[in-house]
Amino acid sequence: MTITYVDNNATTRVAPEVYQAMGPYFTDDYFNPSSMYEPAKRIARAIAESRQRIARLFGLHDDREILFTGCATESDNAAIFGAARANPHRRHIITTTVEHPAVLDVCKDFERNGYDVTFLGVDRNGNLDIGEFVRALRPDTLLVTIMHANNETGVVFPIEQLSRLTKETDPTILFHTDATQSVGKAPLDLPRQFPHVDMLSFSGHKFHAPKGVGGLYVKRGTPCRPLLIGGHQEDGRRAGTENVPYIVGMACAMQVAADCYDDEDTRVRRLRDRLETAIEAQVPYVIVNGKDAPRLPNTLSICCYSVEGEAILAMLDSDGICASSGSACTSGSLEASHVLRAMKVPVHAAHGSVRFSFSRYNTDQDVDRIVEAFPAVIANLRKISPLWDSQKNEPRISERVVA
Ligand code: PLP
């Protein structure tokens, strides 16, 4: 069976150019970049060139502002722990209720350890209240950590505005953004677009590099202590022998992505929009999450009343369609995603969430296959759902209760 892969916010396939660029570093060029002999120096130069390439793509003049990590989870942890260790007297952090666990769970951990954390909520479209954000800033605020684009809904937060307001209030408050879902999907010139951001996380496997390599932009002069100690690598800011093939691969992937940005914004957006329009036309009682907010061009997050997301995914899977759901099975009972709960999606819709996320490798045929399968999947599940009234063709319960 052919596979229709539309789960690119989870991970992406490695681009052929990337695979090819990485090859020699697994075979002939395997030397430790810290060693003193000439072949090893060649490897160190490959890391340096990759760093310069990524810095240039971010519009940076100083490539030391790019730190290589093992993944975005590490980058997020490094930013938050690093800021806290460098500024032990400030003990207030601002974040949002819709962050990825790589930020949210770290902030909760800080809260358990005596920090005061403000978790800002969002409205039904997934937008933040800017007034509430400004009121949350305090003289003892250490760090603001707010994601750029949401992994579940694709909703994009106004990072330029939030970081500017932060620095206008107090230039010593640090601003970190988890840009894991946006880097590689649109051009990002940091000095021009995000001049007030101090730290920014990204991850190779979201833009066609392999899983297991990420990066953290740390603006020059940002007080941030290392998370990993025990070696001189990365100027002593992230110890551990470098993952050379993956670093080379990530730099190559970012370059290839930069050459495809127009494609992402036109062709990928058109695929997403075509699917969205077809589903809205053919499936009753569907909510498009974040429909009226700025959104990534590749992401479609929907909630279908009276069906379970897991059942939808299982049926799509049997048709060869790989998508994902926002729900997480916790302690035996299904709980709607924290993002959809924060957006106050009605409970009987939030459980029927599905996310389709496209990449440049998707085609119109992929959309055709989903459009062919999806309405029947939902209709069949609703036929056997106690929450669906088949006679009236509407949900039995459609109250606007929060999950
Ligand atoms: N942050 C966001 C917004 C993500 O979407 C993800 C992964 O889905 C992560 C962080 C974690 O990335 P990684 O898998 O590189 O640790």
Q: What is the CATH number of the domain that holds 321?
A: 3.90.1150.10
Count up the domains in the chain and report the number.
2
The alpha carbon of 379 and the centre of ligand 1 are apart by a number of angstroms equal to 33
Domain shared by 250 and 274, yes or no: no
Give the number of the atom of ligand 1 that is nearest the alpha carbon of residue 151: 5
Burial 236-256 (b: 16+ CB within 10 A, else e): ebbeeebbbbbbbbbbbbbbb
The alpha carbon of 182 and the centre of ligand 1 are apart by a number of angstroms equal to 11
Give the number of the atom of ligand 1 that is nearest the alpha carbon of residue 76: 10
pLDDT at 335: 79
Domain shared by 195 and 52, yes or no: yes
pTM: 0.96
pLDDT at 264: 80
pLDDT at 401: 45
- Residue 397, judged by CB atoms within 10 A of its CB (0-12, 13-18, 19+), counts as middle
Domain end marker among 259, 286, 317? 259
Q: What is the CATH number of the domain that holds 157?
A: 3.40.640.10
Residue pair 293/127 in contact (Cβ under 8 Å)? The answer is yes
DSSP 3-state assignment of 397? coil
CA 281 to chain centre: 29
Q: Give pLDDT tens digits for 129-148.
A: 999 999 999 999 999 999 99
pLDDT at 265: 87
Domain shared by 147 and 289, yes or no: no
**Rounded Cα gap, residues 44 and 31, in angstroms:** 9
Question: How many Cβ atoms sit within 10 Å of the Cβ of residue 134?
Answer: 13
Domain shared by 250 and 295, yes or no: no
Domain shared by 112 and 240, yes or no: yes
| Segments forming the whole domain that contains residue 292 | 4-10+261-400
Splitting the chain (403 residues) into consecutive groups of 10 residues, what average pLDDT does each group show? 96 98 98 97 98 98 98 98 97 98 98 98 98 98 98 98 98 98 97 98 98 98 96 95 98 96 91 98 98 97 96 97 73 74 95 97 98 98 96 80 44
The alpha carbon of 83 and the centre of ligand 1 are apart by a number of angstroms equal to 20
Look up residue 385 and give its two tokens: 């759902």
Q: Give pLDDT tens digits for 234-258.
A: 999 999 999 999 999 999 999 999 9
Domain end marker among 229, 259, 289? 259
**Rounded Cα gap, residues 291 and 303, in angstroms:** 12
pLDDT at 334: 65
Domain end marker among 259, 282, 306? 259
Domain shared by 100 and 235, yes or no: yes
Domain shared by 90 and 108, yes or no: yes
Question: How many Cβ atoms sit within 10 Å of the Cβ of residue 209?
Answer: 30
The alpha carbon of 166 and the centre of ligand 1 are apart by a number of angstroms equal to 24
pLDDT at 117: 98
**Rounded Cα gap, residues 178 and 95, in angstroms:** 11
Domain shared by 316 and 235, yes or no: no
Contacts of 21 (CB under 8 A, 6+ apart): 248, 249, 252
Domain shared by 155 and 176, yes or no: yes
Domain shared by 218 and 74, yes or no: yes
Pick from 105, 152, 180, 296 the residue to mutate for probing ligand 1's pocket: most ligand atoms within 8 Å of its CB: 180
Give the number of the atom of ligand 1 that is nearest the alpha carbon of residue 203: 15
Domain shared by 189 and 293, yes or no: no
Domain shared by 169 and 186, yes or no: yes
Q: Tell me which residues are annotated as active site.
A: 329
